[in-house]
Amino acid sequence: MITRILPLLRNPATRRKWLVLGSAALIGAGLVVRWGFGAIDLWAALMVAAAVLAGADIAWRALQALRIHHLSIELLVTIAAIGALIIGEYWEAAAVTFLFMLGAWLEARTLRQTRGALADLLKAAPQLATVIRDGQPVEVAASAVRPGETVLVRAGQRIPVDGEVMEGNAAVSEAAITGEPIPAEKAPGARVYAGTIAENGLLRIRATGVGADTTLARIIRRVEEAQEERAPSQRMIERFAQWYTPAIMVLALGAWVVTQDVRLALTLMVVACPGALVISTPVSIIAGIGRAARSGILIKGGQHLENAGRIDMLALDKTGTLTEGRPSLVEVLPLAGIDRAELLHWAAIAESGSDHPLGRPIVAAARAEAEIPPPEAVEELAGMGLVVRHAGRRIAAGNRRLFDRLGIAFDAAAEAALTGLLARGRTPVIVALDGRAVGILGLSDQPRPSAAPAIARLREAGIQRIAMLTGDQPQAARAIAADLDIDEVHAGLMPEDKLRLIRAFQAEGRHVAMIGDGINDAPALAAADTSIAMGAAGSDVAIEAADIALMANDLGKLPEAVAISRATLSNMRQNLVIALLTVAGLLAGVFSGDIHMAEGMLVHQLSVLVVILNGMRLLRRPRALRKRGARERGNMAAKERTSPVDA
């Protein structure tokens, strides 16, 4: 029996529950014997027993804190309870320890709900997987799947691994990863993530990430770390509490010296406990980070949550951030001495040495006509382009800055072709062969459907200054900016130019957030007050490096992240006001003689619960945000349905 009970009592929540129940039973029995039978001595004994039962755990925690030279709230309560027993205030001692223990138990229960987002993520992790071994489906533990194995996923099942679809089609709900409620269609070649649900169809998936090496596992680790990381305001309050607690002890001692009233001194120690103050910040941060995680927004920790709440300027990269990042090749302009097919061939050889979004449509178009050999040597110049070697030829492909750097001259025909492309809002890729410009390719990228609504919502949220920072040509950048109502455009930038601009904005007193996805954005992202990565699902680097990672390629998550951060900051301020007003009111009540020890502890514990419940409000998605999201999704769906007719 004892061997079964002891492990249960080692769990703090379980132990506190039984101590609360035991103390309540003793207090109840004491009240019965006093008011029912007039047995004062037995009543006193039961009150002392109740105080010792509940107070032993409190005193033990106070002693543990003292060992690390920390004067804790438990020490104040322990001194007050012991003092009450010494002066014969048995009821006060029993009531104070019982209420404190009851509050601690309720606090632990409600805080568990605050961490519910993490629990939801853990539930999303499937335990079993069906793999094909020796041609037969075999059910194994999800963690036992070997990379490269084929995993079978039927309709209604959670996908157990990260992987690539080999066969089959299905609508897959990725809400656990991206927060996006609309299922994504998956076909051969598409990436899928552990924890998502195949709502129909049958998928054969090649496993690429298993167990701890999945996107879901990385998200869980990130949320765990983020919820434990202390925000600056939290650290400040903890430092304040370290001085506050001994100050209260000195105040209580001074009150006793001046008034010779022991009850007043003990009551002061009880009512001035900074419990609500200490918990006011972490409960808001845990709830805010959890709320964001449920929407597919990973915030790195309390400090970054606070920073995001203070953003008053946003800088955005263009290609792949404001636009789809899938530019299409719309014009091929060969110059003298070369035809269209040759120009496309040489350009594709150069671009096949890079994974830049502008290079992909060029390579795809060329491969549709002929086989493209890989280059033998590649030199990538960030923000400019590529210089490669193939079959003894030197090929350059990039923007005008690359050609200025290489000293390649432009004749009148090349200048005219370039000017015409820029006037039409195209992004030009100039191609040179052995030091001579041989043609220009014109590409066009489309803004993301979510970009314009997101920009409008950010402005409504008070972020009036929104700037586009891009290495693209000014004409192409202005064309996209005009579509999105962005009036500040900085184009033709090198990575160091973006960095210089971010620092210039900060020197103006701006709190700048930067969102980008390319290597050339890395310095600016590092310098920004808040760095944001988009489409981070499946990207270890984005999840680890960015202050905020939007798991989906949806700019609509950006205003939601800002809204959650600001709501969290507001919630923290509300909690601080509740905590400070409670302590101030109780102190006033003590000095006026209207508040006694048990009443003070009851109000104090109620204030702790009010602070926790107020923090838990953050777990709900704001109603206005829900309505707006539904309205925008409806508008986008209607636009997609009508666009073919309009075209």
Give the residue numbers marked as catalytic.
Answer: 317
User: Is 45 exposed, middle or buried, given 0-12, 13-18 or 19+ CB atoms closer than 10 A?
Assistant: middle
Q: What is the DSSP string of 18-38?
A: HHHHHHHHHHHHHHHHHHHH-
- Tokens encoding 611: 């602070």
Q: How crowded is the C-beta side of 236, counted as CA atoms within 13 Å?
A: 8
Determine which helix (DSSP H) or strand (DSSP E) holds 394, and give its type and residue range. Answer: strand 393-398
Helices (H) and strands (E) in the chain, counts: 24, 22
| 423 three-state secondary structure | helix
CB atoms within 10 A of CB 350: 28
Note the maximum CA span of the chain: 115
φ, ψ of residue 379 in degrees (nearest 5): -125, 115
Cα distance between the two ends of the chain? 78
* C-alpha 567 chain-centroid distance: 14
Q: What are phi and psi of 512, to 5 degrees?
A: -100, 135
Measuring CA to CA, which residue among 443, 425, 442 is closest to residue 480?
A: 425
Q: What is the dihedral of CA 446, 449, 453, 456, to 10 degrees?
A: -10
Contacts (Cβ under 8 Å, ≥6 apart) of 638: none
Contact by Cβ (8 Å): 223, 117 = yes
47 vs 91: CA distance, rounded Å: 6
Residues contacting 407, CB < 8 A, separation 6+: none
DSSP 484-522: HT--EEE-S--HHHHHHHHHHHHHTT--EEEE--SGGGH
Bridge partner residues of 172 (DSSP): 184, 198
Please, is 494 exposed, middle or buried when counting C-beta atoms within 10 Å of its C-beta (0-12, 13-18, 19+)?
middle
CA distance 556 to 400: 34
Distance CA 185, CA 414 (A): 44
Token reading at 302 = 């309390």
- Strands 328-334 and 436-444: what pairing? antiparallel
The structure tokens listed for 514 are: 């930067």
